[in-house]
A and B are shown apart, each in its own frame.
Chain A
Amino acid sequence: MEFDDLIRHIRAALPEAVAEEHPEAFSPWIRVERGQLPELARLLRDDPSLDFAQLMCLSGVHVPAAGDAPETLWSVIHLFSPRHHHKLGLKVVLDAADPVCPSVAELWPTADWHERESYDLLGIRYLGHPDLRRILCPDDWEGHPLRKDYQAPATYNGMPLD
Chain B
Amino acid sequence: MTVLGGPDGHYGIYGGRFVPEALSAALDQLDAQFRNAIVDPSFVEQLAALERDYSGRPNPLTFAAGFSQHCGGARVYLKREDLNHTGSHKINNVLGQALLTVRMGKSRMIAETGAGQHGVATATAAALMGLQCTVYMGEDDTVRQSLNVARMKLLGAEVVPVTIGSRTLKDAINETMRDWVASVEYTHYCLGTVTGPAPFPEVVRYFHSVIGREARGQILAVEGRLPDAVVACVGGGSNAMGLFSGFIDDQGVGLFGFEAGGDGVETGRHASRFATGAPGVLHGARTYVMQDEWGQTLPSHSISAGLDYPGVGPEHAYLHDSGRATYESVNDQEAMDAFALLCRTEGIIPAIETAHGLAGAIRIGKRLGPDGLIVVNLSGRGDKDVATAARWFGMDLGSGLEASEGR
A and B from one assembly?
A: no
